[in-house]
Amino acid sequence: MWNKETLFLHEAAPGHHFQVSIKQELENAPKFQIYSDYTAYSEGWGVYAESLGRMMGLEKDPLQYFGKLNEEMLRAMRLVVDTGLHHYGWSLEQAELYMRDNSALGDGDIHTEVRRYAAIARQALSYKIGQLTITRLREGSQQALGDQFDIRYFHDEVLDSGALPMTILEAKINNWTQEQLNNQG
Protein backbone atom coordinates (compact mmCIF):
# COMPACT_ATOMS: atom_id res chain seq x y z
CA MET A 1 0.00 0.00 0.00
CA TRP A 2 2.95 2.35 0.42
CA ASN A 3 3.39 3.01 -3.28
CA LYS A 4 -0.24 3.40 -4.37
CA GLU A 5 0.01 7.15 -5.02
CA THR A 6 3.21 6.77 -7.04
CA LEU A 7 1.71 3.89 -8.98
CA PHE A 8 -1.41 5.96 -9.67
CA LEU A 9 0.67 8.90 -10.89
CA HIS A 10 2.76 6.67 -13.18
CA GLU A 11 0.04 4.43 -14.62
CA ALA A 12 -3.09 6.60 -14.54
CA ALA A 13 -3.13 10.37 -14.14
CA PRO A 14 -1.15 12.20 -15.25
CA GLY A 15 0.77 9.07 -16.33
CA HIS A 16 0.21 6.49 -19.04
CA HIS A 17 -3.60 6.38 -19.14
CA PHE A 18 -3.73 10.15 -19.59
CA GLN A 19 -0.82 10.13 -22.06
CA VAL A 20 -2.20 7.31 -24.20
CA SER A 21 -5.71 8.79 -24.19
CA ILE A 22 -4.35 12.03 -25.64
CA LYS A 23 -2.30 10.10 -28.21
CA GLN A 24 -5.34 8.09 -29.34
CA GLU A 25 -7.37 11.26 -29.84
CA LEU A 26 -4.88 12.88 -32.23
CA GLU A 27 -6.80 13.69 -35.39
CA ASN A 28 -4.20 14.98 -37.83
CA ALA A 29 -1.23 12.84 -36.86
CA PRO A 30 0.02 10.00 -39.04
CA LYS A 31 -1.06 6.53 -37.87
CA PHE A 32 2.50 5.51 -37.01
CA GLN A 33 2.64 8.40 -34.55
CA ILE A 34 -0.59 7.32 -32.88
CA TYR A 35 0.16 3.61 -32.69
CA SER A 36 3.93 3.54 -32.32
CA ASP A 37 5.83 3.96 -29.11
CA TYR A 38 9.21 5.18 -27.97
CA THR A 39 9.99 3.71 -24.58
CA ALA A 40 12.10 6.66 -23.43
CA TYR A 41 9.17 8.95 -24.19
CA SER A 42 6.33 6.88 -22.74
CA GLU A 43 8.11 5.49 -19.69
CA GLY A 44 9.96 8.76 -19.26
CA TRP A 45 6.59 10.49 -19.06
CA GLY A 46 5.39 7.92 -16.51
CA VAL A 47 8.40 8.47 -14.26
CA TYR A 48 8.20 12.25 -14.78
CA ALA A 49 4.52 12.11 -13.79
CA GLU A 50 5.56 10.51 -10.51
CA SER A 51 7.50 13.69 -9.71
CA LEU A 52 4.30 15.75 -9.84
CA GLY A 53 2.77 14.18 -6.74
CA ARG A 54 3.65 16.89 -4.24
CA MET A 55 2.58 19.61 -6.67
CA MET A 56 -0.78 17.82 -6.99
CA GLY A 57 -1.26 17.65 -3.21
CA LEU A 58 -0.28 13.98 -2.84
CA GLU A 59 2.48 12.32 -0.82
CA LYS A 60 1.41 14.01 2.41
CA ASP A 61 1.45 10.63 4.12
CA PRO A 62 5.09 9.79 4.96
CA LEU A 63 4.47 6.20 3.89
CA GLN A 64 3.39 7.36 0.41
CA TYR A 65 6.45 9.58 0.19
CA PHE A 66 8.56 6.55 1.12
CA GLY A 67 6.87 4.73 -1.75
CA LYS A 68 7.91 7.49 -4.14
CA LEU A 69 11.50 7.35 -2.89
CA ASN A 70 11.47 3.55 -3.17
CA GLU A 71 10.40 3.81 -6.83
CA GLU A 72 13.19 6.33 -7.45
CA MET A 73 15.62 3.85 -5.92
CA LEU A 74 14.27 1.11 -8.18
CA ARG A 75 14.91 3.30 -11.25
CA ALA A 76 18.48 3.92 -10.09
CA MET A 77 19.03 0.20 -9.46
CA ARG A 78 17.74 -0.56 -12.94
CA LEU A 79 20.50 1.59 -14.40
CA VAL A 80 23.12 -0.30 -12.40
CA VAL A 81 21.70 -3.76 -13.10
CA ASP A 82 21.16 -3.19 -16.84
CA THR A 83 24.71 -1.88 -17.18
CA GLY A 84 26.06 -4.69 -15.00
CA LEU A 85 24.36 -7.37 -17.06
CA HIS A 86 25.05 -5.99 -20.53
CA HIS A 87 28.34 -4.16 -20.17
CA TYR A 88 30.15 -5.77 -17.26
CA GLY A 89 28.90 -9.31 -17.84
CA TRP A 90 27.19 -9.85 -14.48
CA SER A 91 25.44 -13.14 -13.96
CA LEU A 92 21.74 -13.16 -13.09
CA GLU A 93 22.73 -14.09 -9.56
CA GLN A 94 25.05 -11.07 -9.24
CA ALA A 95 22.27 -8.78 -10.45
CA GLU A 96 19.77 -10.35 -8.03
CA LEU A 97 22.21 -9.96 -5.13
CA TYR A 98 22.72 -6.29 -5.97
CA MET A 99 18.96 -5.69 -5.98
CA ARG A 100 18.46 -7.69 -2.79
CA ASP A 101 21.14 -5.64 -1.04
CA ASN A 102 19.77 -2.29 -2.23
CA SER A 103 15.99 -2.49 -2.34
CA ALA A 104 12.81 -3.29 -0.48
CA LEU A 105 11.71 -5.67 -3.25
CA GLY A 106 10.85 -9.26 -2.46
CA ASP A 107 12.74 -12.18 -3.97
CA GLY A 108 9.99 -12.93 -6.50
CA ASP A 109 9.98 -9.34 -7.79
CA ILE A 110 13.77 -9.29 -7.95
CA HIS A 111 13.82 -12.56 -9.90
CA THR A 112 11.30 -11.19 -12.43
CA GLU A 113 12.90 -7.75 -12.73
CA VAL A 114 16.41 -9.09 -13.36
CA ARG A 115 15.20 -11.42 -16.09
CA ARG A 116 13.31 -8.58 -17.72
CA TYR A 117 16.45 -6.42 -17.82
CA ALA A 118 18.50 -9.35 -19.11
CA ALA A 119 16.03 -10.01 -21.94
CA ILE A 120 15.51 -6.41 -23.04
CA ALA A 121 18.81 -4.51 -22.99
CA ARG A 122 18.51 -0.74 -22.42
CA GLN A 123 14.76 -0.84 -21.78
CA ALA A 124 15.36 -0.21 -18.08
CA LEU A 125 17.65 2.71 -18.94
CA SER A 126 14.99 4.36 -21.07
CA TYR A 127 12.75 5.14 -18.09
CA LYS A 128 15.35 7.38 -16.50
CA ILE A 129 16.67 8.82 -19.76
CA GLY A 130 13.15 9.92 -20.73
CA GLN A 131 12.36 11.33 -17.30
CA LEU A 132 15.64 13.24 -17.13
CA THR A 133 15.08 14.64 -20.63
CA ILE A 134 11.55 15.86 -19.87
CA THR A 135 12.69 17.33 -16.55
CA ARG A 136 15.63 19.11 -18.23
CA LEU A 137 13.35 20.50 -20.94
CA ARG A 138 10.90 21.76 -18.33
CA GLU A 139 13.68 23.43 -16.34
CA GLY A 140 15.05 25.06 -19.51
CA SER A 141 11.63 26.37 -20.49
CA GLN A 142 10.98 27.62 -16.95
CA GLN A 143 14.29 29.42 -16.86
CA ALA A 144 13.81 30.99 -20.31
CA LEU A 145 10.18 32.01 -19.77
CA GLY A 146 10.35 33.04 -16.12
CA ASP A 147 6.97 34.16 -14.80
CA GLN A 148 5.40 33.48 -18.19
CA PHE A 149 6.04 29.73 -17.86
CA ASP A 150 2.83 27.74 -17.37
CA ILE A 151 3.36 24.07 -16.61
CA ARG A 152 -0.01 23.19 -18.15
CA TYR A 153 1.05 24.51 -21.55
CA PHE A 154 4.42 22.79 -21.24
CA HIS A 155 2.67 19.48 -20.56
CA ASP A 156 0.37 20.08 -23.53
CA GLU A 157 3.43 20.48 -25.75
CA VAL A 158 5.03 17.33 -24.42
CA LEU A 159 1.88 15.24 -24.95
CA ASP A 160 0.07 16.67 -27.98
CA SER A 161 2.08 14.90 -30.69
CA GLY A 162 2.07 11.37 -29.36
CA ALA A 163 5.21 9.40 -28.63
CA LEU A 164 8.31 11.04 -30.02
CA PRO A 165 12.00 10.22 -30.03
CA MET A 166 13.75 12.30 -27.36
CA THR A 167 15.69 14.35 -29.93
CA ILE A 168 12.44 15.31 -31.70
CA LEU A 169 10.73 16.14 -28.39
CA GLU A 170 13.69 18.30 -27.43
CA ALA A 171 13.53 20.23 -30.72
CA LYS A 172 9.76 20.61 -30.34
CA ILE A 173 10.00 21.99 -26.80
CA ASN A 174 12.89 24.29 -27.70
CA ASN A 175 10.87 25.67 -30.65
CA TRP A 176 7.82 26.11 -28.43
CA THR A 177 9.87 27.92 -25.80
CA GLN A 178 11.31 30.24 -28.44
CA GLU A 179 7.82 30.95 -29.81
CA GLN A 180 6.65 31.84 -26.30
CA LEU A 181 9.60 34.21 -25.92
CA ASN A 182 8.86 35.81 -29.30
CA ASN A 183 5.21 36.31 -28.28
CA GLN A 184 6.28 38.08 -25.07
CA GLY A 185 8.14 40.81 -26.92
Question: For every one of its 185 residues, what pLDDT tens digit does the chain have, with 9 covering 90 and above?
Answer: 888 999 999 999 999 999 999 999 998 888 877 888 899 999 999 999 999 999 999 989 999 999 999 899 999 999 999 999 999 999 999 999 999 999 888 999 999 999 999 999 988 899 999 999 999 999 999 999 999 999 999 999 999 999 999 999 999 999 999 999 999 86
Distance CA 125, CA 145 (A): 30
What letter would DSSP give residue 148?
A: G
User: Given this model, what pLDDT does residue 185 score?
Assistant: 67
So what's the pLDDT on residue 80? 96
The verdict on residue 171 lying in a domain is no
Residue 65 forms part of a structural domain: yes
Q: Is residue 160 part of a domain?
A: no
- Is 137 contained in some domain? no
In this predicted structure, what is the pLDDT of residue 23? 92
Residue 115 lies in a domain: yes
What CA–CA distance (Å, rounded) separates 49 from 39? 15
DSSP conformational letter for 27: S
Q: How far apart are CA 101 and CA 38, in angstroms?
A: 31
**Amino acid, single-letter form, for residue 65:** Y
pLDDT (0 to 100) of residue 1: 82
Closest CA to 121 of 66, 176, 79, 69: 79
Q: Considering its fold, how many domains does the chain have in total?
A: 1
Residues 6+ apart with CB under 8 A from 117: 78, 81, 82, 85, 95, 123, 124
- Rounded to 5°, the CA angle 132-157-48 comes to 30
Does residue 138 lie within any of the structural domains?
Answer: no
- Domain range enclosing 41: 4-131
Q: Please report which residue ranges of the chain form alpha helices under DSSP H.
A: 4-11, 16-24, 31-35, 39-50, 62-86, 92-102, 107-119, 123-145, 151-159, 166-184
Residue 169 domain flag: no
In a domain, 168, yes or no: no
14 preceded by cis ω (within 30°)?
Answer: yes
